[in-house]
Structure 1
């Protein structure tokens, strides 16, 4: 293999120049498993709402690694002990934390495979890459799984104030144009410290934490749980569900060989072996979109209609309410759509359905964001904050939705 300069830089629209810190990171980025992230959208079908939201998991992984470099510098400056092995482990863990995402990120997490999360698949990728790189990711895997004796290392990768969240809020805010989601990640990182092996934020950074939590709440309601995005995501899930059903009935469904495999087989945690992992590594947004373009001309009216809705952005109508959806109203709409589209009872469920969405910006019961006060005491941010709404952010807000074709009702 031809040699190349392994200390390259990426020009990122959020942070400017991102430097590759070592040859292991360079080689990980160059591996086909990681390059696949260029073809996995960060925000699923949110570009149907926010046209600029075409950034990828590749962008996000590099940005998270950049913030981790800043966090390592900030903690070392304050005397926190971090050796070279732990530094490399942190950088590799955050770089690979999302490598297990399937097509369109969260939208299809339980459609391609069943009962296995993207975190589980990320771990499988990391274990295989560890074999490939002769054990170089052993520390990274210990950090990623929370098995490293220094707990703050895992908290930098996965907690309520980790480098993952700091990057995706700032990045998604930038690409959607939703300014309310923008956070001062650099200041928050500067305020980090470690006490008794756990990550804390110094008291003078409390207002930055409040802003971060509020930004997260705004982004969930305005972007991640936007009603049009919800409809598009559910249509995508229904398309895959219908394709699986038709294959089970003996119909011919054209798709890439990789997608075909996952449609024809029920892949779960128990049978997700090395061969399945390698097939999964070849699956990305391109497989799904090319299939949807093909299926819009399928003879099955349900599959055809669903695909055309996505391709032409003629989505279902959605209503969001504070109370559960009235069953009689739901059945009334189903009857009208059945008659209009000439569908069976089973078929109409692809076009008329309900569900719920939840938003909880801060979890007081798990991995608290702790503030290091000037007197040396550690206090949960929700107790210390004088912001009236911060305690409310720790309560789960649930809303209910119903989707249906407006022209048929």
Structure 2
């Protein structure tokens, strides 16, 4: 007997009840590709700093659906014509926008998949799902890729003021307890409008937009670029990198079958179906379980890195305004070589540039709709207060070194 989906309601602690009344949408949510997101952390290892930050990408995707539903209503109330097909397609596109994220996303992209960006994986997943669901995702894919003529649908999914950001800022603020990141998502959505099929913001919403931009900047410096979170991610990257190098040398590095697949494979110029099926089985638990095993590995570098992550014995870290010299970095590395009796201290000593540009006025700028019908870019508004400063890129440098080393003097 064919399964009949009834109306489903998810209880979201941040945005309230999320109602799913479309059978296709619910079937996609139920698909194993999407269910995997329950086991993928939204904020990586930030729970090492903010213990409550254990929410998943699954929850974030549901939140985005909620915001898209609210947006549809707001825009239609303002006279914007949205067909049933467009409504469904934009909901599917926002639901699947992060489906390509792997465990500890950025660590995975830079090591196991060697540069394959999560967006490329997302579109590959979407195309496979489209085949499985008889091409019912075709319009959603066009919207996701910005190939659909009505540009505002894509802007709602990916732009400087998209629903993705409106959800994750509010959600990450809630779960970390960092109140500076809390944005009034619904207030901003009520200020949205469409002119010539492009997304605009009612002029009276300018200060809500400035608050949103500053909140995003603060979340980067307080959460996403928190010195300990960055250090944990760097050491995770190095542990995976070391494991992959050992496997390449023929060493035994125990892990789950799916993680082993990615440790052994190095050519990811094109993602094939086997790669994707294996990736769809990979989640945070594979990586954490492997690190637990690797704590006692015979390779000292892998063992130490794994211990530091699992036991949260992370190195000292600093956010500094100017980088230290290469000579100083090499001096510290030499000290680490002696301390750990290893050949390559580059696994343990890192200096990384961190940059935040709160508002990029040269790339798809936010546009205001004034009362007289004029369209004005945000940075050109006479009554803006903070935008001028938000257009400046802020750059800092993250330095991490083992605690036993003297460090920067």
Q: TM-score, normalised by structure 2?
A: 0.97
Instruction: Please list the CA deviations of residues 109-149 of structure 1 after superposition, one character each: whole Å capped at 9, or x if unmatched.
Output: 22221232101100000000000000110000000000001
CA deviations 1:367-400 (Å, max 9, x no partner) are: 1110101111111112216444321212211111
The answer as to 2:271 corresponding to 1:291 is no
Which residue in 2 is equivalent to 1:262? 262
Name the CA distance, whole Å, in 1 between partners of 2:222 and 2:403.
23
Is 1:335 aligned to 2:334, yes or no?
Answer: yes
Partner of residue 374, structure 2? 377
3-state DSSP class of the match of 1:255? coil
Where 1:54 maps in the other structure, the secondary structure is: coil
User: What is the correspondence of 1:308-319 to structure 2 with a 5 Å cutoff?
Assistant: 308-319=307-318
Deviates more, 1:396-405 or 1:125-134: 396-405
1:107 is displaced (CA, Å) by 3.5
The offset of 1:327, in angstroms, is 1.6
Measured in 1, the distance between the counterparts of 2:176 and 2:382 equals 29
Matches within 5 A, 1:363-374: 363-374=360-371
For the aligned residue pairs, the C-alpha RMSD in angstroms reads 1.2
Query: Does structure 1 conserve the Cα–Cα contact (< 8 Å) formed by 2:109 and 2:115?
Result: no
Separation (CA, whole Å) in 1 of partners of 2:38 and 2:146 = 27
In the TM superposition, residue 408 of structure 1 has moved relative to its aligned partner by 3.5
Separation of aligned partners in 1, 2:213 and 2:317:
28
The gaps in structure 2 that reach 5 residues or longer are none
Cα deviation code 1:128-187 (max 9, x no counterpart): 000000011000000000000101111011111111000000000000000000011001
> Shift of the alpha carbon at 1:2?
6.8
Q: What's the counterpart of residue 130 of structure 2?
A: 130
Aligned residue runs from structure 1 range 266-285, under 5 A: 266-268=266-268, 270-285=269-284
Q: How does 1:104-123 map to 2 (within 5 A)?
A: 104-123=104-123
Q: 2:182 is matched with which residue? A: 182
Deviation at 1:4, TM superposition (A): 5.0
**CA distance in structure 1 between the partners assigned to 2:280 and 2:108 by the alignment:** 15
Q: Tell me what 1:31 maps to.
A: 31
- SS of equivalent residue, structure 2 residue 353: strand
How far apart, in 2, do the equivalents of 1:44 and 1:108 lie? 11
The farther-off stretch of 125-134 and 380-389 is 380-389
1:74 aligns with 2:71: no
Q: What is the number of residues matched between the two proteins?
A: 406
Once the two structures are superposed, residues 216-236 of structure 1 have per-residue CA deviations (whole angstroms, 9 ceiling, x without a partner) of: 011000001000000000000
Contact 2:36–2:281 (CA under 8 A) maintained in structure 1: yes
Deviation at 1:52, TM superposition (A): 0.2
2:110 aligned counterpart, secondary structure: coil
Taking the aligned partners of 1:276 and 1:338, their CA distance within structure 2 comes to 37
